[in-house]
Structure 1
């Protein structure tokens, strides 16, 4: 009969593993603190006025430590945006589940998008700031793991909208050949429309070379976005 094998861990292995686990936990906690501070500053001051120095001060660290956890300001902003996107996905899903008819579900999802964007203007600013970057620039400025998390956040929101469109197609209510493309288009154009609602003004030409400014309300923007989404869903090919 063979001798039982000694399965005991090498001396010192457990303490080393414990130290690594504790260090990883502290790192995750510090990253969470930095992201939470960034989110608070975004909500209080807006994206433009949130500086790395202010974020570090809010956490009680120096800016060098921020750069130990994030590759730069773009990555920090991207991961803060992920938090907004996770909340937005839940809001969109709740809207989609609140109705049964295809058109009503799409209207509810668009309305949920408007409501969230108007309640969290920093989400709109942050999303638009990152959308101004090309894919190549983002790959250069943001780590692969952060980019993956950002992609998951965006795709999670788009998946809710795509599912509503696909359900509408199966029910014979919508004529959408590519729900993914339409979802992405509605998301991108929706961010622009939310910015218009925040500004609250329209510009038109009263006569050649004579501009006139008028006002526009959030409800007008909402109505336009809903009408446009329904029209595109009914005719997109």
Structure 2
């Protein structure tokens, strides 16, 4: 074997080792997220979990924010797999959206760190994100988000065609529903709601997870129906395709 081929082989092996190391770091980050939450997942702990020096993490990732963004990509990939398994284009759009909403809500409840991580990124401006995360990673994150959002947008468009859902830009509404659900599930994360008691004495109650879950799903469906419900219009389809299930 020529020296040139040997050099190519070594480069490939080095690239493979680098990819494996990055996967190990992301896997360890997600494990710590699921065990402790995003706030308590420190770079030192991630390095110990992988069995490497902390400095090696910064050779693979631009910073903590970039590592967390790629961990969110991992969550989003699993979420989209779950959404795909329950989606059925032969079902009525309202039932399709309900099925996906249930999966999304349950995923947030199962992995609270996913919702925390997603909300943390949503709180940042585009300029802030591009200042902390490299363009290739931003592309990966956008692609992962788009996969789930595109699935929701397709259902919204199907419902609009049959007259069930409000005629709102489907891409915008898919993003709105994503953000709306994450915000709703934060109530389950915090576990508290506040009401007024005597003047100057607010009352704090426990937020029932089951109630938060059902309200979040109902809110998704209500938002999709939108002005049709407000105007008192029926939400029965204008027509039903042959073979479509309810």
Please give the TM-score of this superposition, normalised by the length of structure 2: 0.87
What corresponds to 2:29 in structure 1?
38
1:199 CA displacement = 2.2
Residue 213 of structure 1: SS of its match in structure 2? strand
Residue 97 of structure 1: SS of its match in structure 2? coil
**Structure-to-structure mapping, 1:201-220, within 5 angstroms:** 201-220=192-211
Q: Indicate if the aligned counterparts of 2:105 and 2:217 stay in contact, CA closer than 8 A.
A: no
Mapped to 2, the partners of 1:17 and 1:236 lie a distance apart of 61
Residue 33 of structure 2: SS of its match in structure 1? helix
* Long gaps (5+) in structure 1: 1-8
What corresponds to 2:120 in structure 1?
129
Q: 2:105 aligns with which of 84, 104, 114?
A: 114
**Structure-to-structure mapping, 1:1-237, within 5 angstroms:** 12-97=3-88, 100-235=91-226
Q: Calculate the aligned-residue CA RMSD, in Å.
A: 1.9
Q: Indicate if the aligned counterparts of 1:96 and 1:164 stay in contact, CA closer than 8 A.
A: no
Aligned pair in 2 of structure 1 residues 96, 209: CA closer, same or farther (>3 Å)?
farther
Q: Indicate if the aligned counterparts of 1:71 and 1:143 stay in contact, CA closer than 8 A.
A: yes
1:54 CA displacement = 0.8
1:82 CA displacement = 0.5
Residue 175 of structure 1: SS of its match in structure 2? coil
1:151 CA displacement = 0.6
Aligned pair in 2 of structure 1 residues 119, 99: CA closer, same or farther (>3 Å)?
farther
* Long gaps (5+) in structure 2: 229-246
Mapped to 2, the partners of 1:20 and 1:199 lie a distance apart of 48
Aligned length: 228
